């Protein structure tokens, strides 16, 4: 039995944050019913066509769900929503702030009808405050949270290459829902969860915030290098390939000098005999490291680092990750079905294949509409009328 088997989730979701949250619930066995707009559905379905004509974001965040189309501006469709919610455990939504209130589907209204229902609202800035109604896309939250001010190179801020603000909010939605389910088991009552992308990202920014507390300078923009530890970051070997390495303490610094770059005299050099001094003199030290690496291939550098017990990694590209030997050795890849055929998918982190996580199909738009309507007790005639009226 999967941990969340028997839990029913209804979701009004689009883009990444809420779909990523509910996919975690689906992975653990919850039944997730995704309500989409007739004709177009979740707009993330059309971000690109990279996965055999399907969108890469959508197939990532929407496996193991059922899709029903409903025009919630029509009374018949709202009736269906309430039928869905009548025995639901969780309602998740990331529509524009105020949208569910206008539909009578906000927590205040729903809790009176369904006192055991857990309602999770995911938004850019939260359900109140002066920024409530601002549009909030991932890049904008990366900027507003200060993330862009410490990434990239000096004078050239760089965004994260994945939807980090959406992912943060989605995971806080997921963890809060799990906590609310445990709490409901004790109290018998549902709960309101208000997750904002801004607060999720600011939580993740707590190290640089504390580093800059009381008006102190923030961490420098240092590209792929660490802003406050050195040497820690990318270094090019003699064959042009990049090695990522990290020296964390003085014991490792001594080994690095003696065994990796073969310059033991640097251990006693006043410019480099503490992390703070190495950071202050990073440009000089970087040149010395690169000169030592220039006679070695990346494989040779990694071999020396491994022998010295110095943390290191390759600079993998996407194809390298698809074929990563560690993931293959641990059998972390499986297959899921999509409307365009079978695609590979990573098992949820922390879950073994033996636990049989729910790796169900990515749904086509409205694929489950009629079956869900039948399940709710609607007749063929009623379903046909809803189709004719454009309510589904």
CATH code for the domain of 249: 3.30.1540.10
Instruction: Say what the pLDDT of residue 155 is.
Output: 87
Instruction: Say what the pLDDT of residue 262 is.
Output: 96
User: Are the CB atoms for 334 and 347 separated by under 8 Å?
Assistant: yes
Instruction: Say what the pLDDT of residue 348 is.
Output: 96
Same domain, 243 and 373: no
Same domain, 77 and 157: yes
Instruction: Say what the pLDDT of residue 266 is.
Output: 95
pLDDT tens-place string over residues 120-157: 999 999 999 999 999 999 999 999 999 999 999 988 99
Residue 300 counted as domain residue: yes
Residue 219 counted as domain residue: no
| Nearest-angstrom CA–CA distance, 129 and 132 | 6
Same domain, 306 and 256: yes
Residue 108 counted as domain residue: yes
pLDDT tens-place string over residues 34-81: 999 999 999 999 999 999 999 999 999 999 999 999 999 999 999 999
Residue 139 counted as domain residue: yes
Last residue of a domain, one of 315, 346, 362: 315
Same domain, 145 and 258: no
| Nearest-angstrom CA–CA distance, 339 and 316 | 30
CB atoms within 10 A of CB 381: 8
Same domain, 279 and 132: no
Same domain, 299 and 333: no
Q: Which helix (H) or strand (E) holds 33?
A: strand 31-36
Residue 357 counted as domain residue: yes
Query: Within its chain, how far is the Cα of 233 from the centroid?
Result: 24
pLDDT tens-place string over residues 294-314: 999 999 999 999 999 999 999
Q: What is the dihedral of CA 128, 186, 104, 99, to 10 degrees?
A: 40
Which band of pLDDT confidence, cut at 50, 70 and 90, is reported for residue 82?
very high
Buried b (16+ CB within 10 A) or exposed e, 212-244: beeeeeeeebbeebbbebbbbbebbbeeeeebb
Same domain, 140 and 253: no
Last residue of a domain, one of 270, 288, 315: 315
Q: What percent of the chain has pLDDT over 90?
A: 96
Q: Which domain holds residue 364?
A: 8-204+328-389
Same domain, 296 and 345: no
Which band of pLDDT confidence, cut at 50, 70 and 90, is reported for residue 388?
very high
| Nearest-angstrom CA–CA distance, 9 and 211 | 40
CATH of the domain at 148: 3.40.50.10540
CB atoms within 10 A of CB 12: 22
Q: What is the mean pLDDT of residues 250-269?
A: 96
Which band of pLDDT confidence, cut at 50, 70 and 90, is reported for residue 1?
confident
Residue 214 counted as domain residue: no
Q: What is the mean pLDDT of residues 348-365?
A: 95
| Nearest-angstrom CA–CA distance, 301 and 280 | 25
Task: Please tell me the number of Cα atoms within 13 Å of 205 on its side-chain side.
Answer: 24
Same domain, 290 and 249: yes
Residue 209 counted as domain residue: no
Number of structural domains (the chain) is 2
| Nearest-angstrom CA–CA distance, 392 and 189 | 32
Residue 217 counted as domain residue: no
Same domain, 282 and 176: no
User: Are the CB atoms for 342 and 335 separated by under 8 Å?
Assistant: yes
Q: How far from 70 is each of 45, 58, 84, CA to CA, in Å?
A: 16, 19, 12
Same domain, 177 and 56: yes
- Enter the tokens of residue 87: 């025995």
Which band of pLDDT confidence, cut at 50, 70 and 90, is reported for residue 380?
very high
pLDDT tens-place string over residues 160-200: 999 999 999 999 999 999 999 999 999 999 999 999 999 99
Last residue of a domain, one of 315, 350, 367: 315
User: Are the CB atoms for 390 and 369 separated by under 8 Å?
Assistant: no
Instruction: Say what the pLDDT of residue 222 is.
Output: 87
Same domain, 369 and 254: no
Q: Which helix (H) or strand (E) holds 208?
A: helix 206-211
Q: What is the mean pLDDT of residues 278-298?
A: 96
């Amino acid at each position: 039995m999967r941990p969340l088997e028997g839990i029913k989730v209804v979701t009004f979701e689009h883009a990444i944050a809420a779909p990523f949250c509910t996919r975690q619930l689906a992975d653990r066995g919850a039944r997730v019913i995704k309500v989409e707009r007739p004709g177009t559905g979740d707009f993330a379905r059309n971000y690109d066509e990279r996965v055999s004509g399907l969108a890469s974001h959508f197939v990532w965040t929407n496996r193991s769900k059922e899709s029903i189309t409903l025009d919630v501006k029509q009374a018949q469709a709202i009736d269906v929503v309430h039928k869905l919610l009548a025995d639901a455990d969780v309602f998740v939504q990331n529509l524009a702030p105020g949208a569910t209130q206008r539909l009578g589907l906000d927590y205040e209204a729903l809790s009176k009808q369904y006192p055991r229902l857990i309602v999770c609202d995911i938004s850019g800035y939260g359900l109140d405050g002066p920024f409530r109604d601002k549009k909030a896309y991932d890049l904008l939250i990366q900027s507003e949270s200060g993330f862009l001010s410490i990434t990239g190179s000096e004078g050239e801020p760089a965004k994260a290459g994945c939807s980090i603000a959406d992912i943060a909010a989605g995971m806080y939605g997921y963890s809060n829902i799990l906590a609310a389910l445990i709490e409901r088991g004790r109290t018998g009552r549902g709960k309101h969860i208000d997750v904002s992308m801004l607060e999720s990202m600011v939580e993740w920014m707590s190290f640089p915030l504390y580093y800059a507390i009381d008006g102190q300078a923030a961490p420098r923009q240092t590209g792929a290098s660490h802003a406050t530890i050195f040497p820690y970051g990318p270094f090019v070997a003699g064959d042009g390939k990049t090695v990522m390495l990290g020296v964390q303490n003085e014991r490792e610094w001594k080994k690095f000098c003696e065994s990796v770059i073969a310059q033991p005299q640097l251990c006693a050099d006043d410019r480099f005999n503490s992390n703070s001094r190495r950071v202050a003199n990073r440009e000089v030290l970087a040149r010395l490291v690169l000169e030592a690496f220039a006679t070695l291939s990346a494989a040779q550098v990694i071999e020396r680092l491994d022998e010295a017990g110095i943390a290191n990694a390759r600079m993998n590209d996407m194809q390298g990750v698809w074929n990563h030997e560690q993931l293959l050795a641990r059998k972390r890849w499986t297959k899921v079905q999509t409307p365009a055929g079978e695609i590979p998918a990573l098992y949820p982190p922390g879950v073994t294949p033996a636990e049989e996580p729910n790796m169900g199909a990515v749904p086509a738009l409205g694929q489950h509409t009629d079956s869900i309507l039948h399940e709710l007790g609607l007749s063929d005639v009623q379903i046909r009328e809803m189709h004719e009226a454009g309510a589904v």
